[in-house]
Amino acid sequence: MTTIKGPAIFLAQFMGDQPPFNDLKTICKWAKELGFVGVQLPAWDSRCIDLQKAAESKTYADELKGLVNDCGLAITELSTHLQGQLIAVHPAYDSLFDGFAPEPVRGNPTARTAWAKQQLLWAAKASQHLGLDTHCTFSGALLWHTVYPWPQRPAGLVETGFRELAKRWKPILDEFDACGVDLCYEIHPGEDLHDGISYEIFLQEVGNHPRACLLYDPSHFVLQCLDYRSYIDIYHERIKAFHVKDAEFNPTGKQGVYGGYQSWINRAGRFRSLGDGQVDFKSIFSKLAAYDYKGWAVMEWECCLKHPEDGAKEGAVFISDHIIRVTDKAFDDFAGTGSNEKFNRSVLGLD
């Protein structure tokens, strides 16, 4: 077994216009002071990384890694959640997702998809240059508007959608494989990969690609009423990244999973700061330790109530308290009598 690495923090929700949140060095120092030992970098934020430069220049990647290391931290993974989303966008969402892309490709879905693909290819090489072996992203979605279908889905629609999704991702997965990096999809509502079954459909379409792995975030499963503990039992071999994020689901006589078009604070399902929600993290950390998860525990803050700085301060302690330093011996070793084949046969009455 391996002790989970952490605590770490995903910087996406903390980057801002005011110090110390407007600069990678100063935000890393802030994170270190709170007790974090790792940072996950949003690859769309130029204040954190020049993705193309990191892909093309090992020297720049080394300098970036050195900057973070000098602050007493490690880079855990890069994230291309926004770029990954743009690999597959149904036309109904074009205007909403255009803001994820640079101005020159907005309003041009073909150019936008090509830009997103290039971003992912650079992310593979940048991760390799940084010495990372995992990467985090979204799958995008062609089928999400049919998740609760009315009228019914035409026969073969799901198969067609997943064949196209796999076609777009296969060359990207191959590049990550060439770079020795696992591509970890965050299973998330709004993505075509939003639960175990949809992930398995995709996995089949990409030929069980060894790099098509998982970013585990239990908060999204609480909001779907999916068993997030059993999910680990089923998919632990593919779980290579972990977002530690809490959530709660409190359905009423007026609303349930779909939330009635309400704001986050008024939904039955809400994201919360660590320890304020319903996720059984003791069970999760125990299962991941038992299954020899070798990655990081990365806090992602998306609470609808608590101030982010308070969430971060409490989150560092929360994760530290939940990481299990795994044992290197059995608790009953003191009572062992030693053994060899002859003795074992004797115990069994075979000699």
Contact 219, 279 (CB under 8 A): yes
Q: For residue 330, is it left (φ>0), alpha (ψ between -120 and 50) or beta?
A: beta
- pLDDT for 329 equals 81
- pLDDT for 130 equals 98
- pLDDT for 347 equals 86
- pLDDT for 194 equals 98
Contact 15, 27 (CB under 8 A): yes
Percentage above 90 pLDDT, the chain: 93
Give the tens place of pLDDT for each residue, 28-45: 999 999 999 999 999 999
User: What would the two tokens of residue 227 be?
Assistant: 């068993």
Which of the two residues, 336 and 108, has the higher pLDDT score? 108
Identify each DSSP E strand in the chain by its residue range: 5-10, 38-42, 74-80, 134-137, 182-186, 212-216, 239-244, 246-249, 269-272, 296-299
Under the banding of pLDDT at 50, 70 and 90, the label for residue 331 is: confident
Which of the two residues, 333 and 199, has the higher pLDDT score? 199
Which of the two residues, 47 and 335, has the higher pLDDT score? 47
Written as one letter, the residue type at 131 is G
Q: State how far the Cα of 27 lies from the Cα of 39, in Å rounded to an integer.
A: 10
- pLDDT for 200 equals 98
Pairing of strands 182-186, 212-216: parallel
Mean pLDDT, range 278-292, rounded to an integer: 98
Mean pLDDT, range 336-351, rounded to an integer: 84
Which of the two residues, 339 and 187, has the higher pLDDT score? 187
- pLDDT for 351 equals 76
Give the tens place of pLDDT for each residue, 83-108: 999 999 999 999 999 999 999 999 99
**334 has a pLDDT exceeding 70:** no
- pLDDT for 91 equals 97
Contact 209, 177 (CB under 8 A): yes
- pLDDT for 171 equals 98
- pLDDT for 335 equals 66
Mean pLDDT, range 35-56, rounded to an integer: 98
Complete domains list, the chain, with CATH:
5-347 (3.20.20.150)
Global pTM value: 0.95
Give the tens place of pLDDT for each residue, 217-242: 999 999 999 999 999 999 999 999 99
* Lowest mean pLDDT segment, chosen from 29-38, 66-75, 163-172, 337-346: 337-346
**339 has a pLDDT exceeding 80:** no
- pLDDT for 340 equals 86
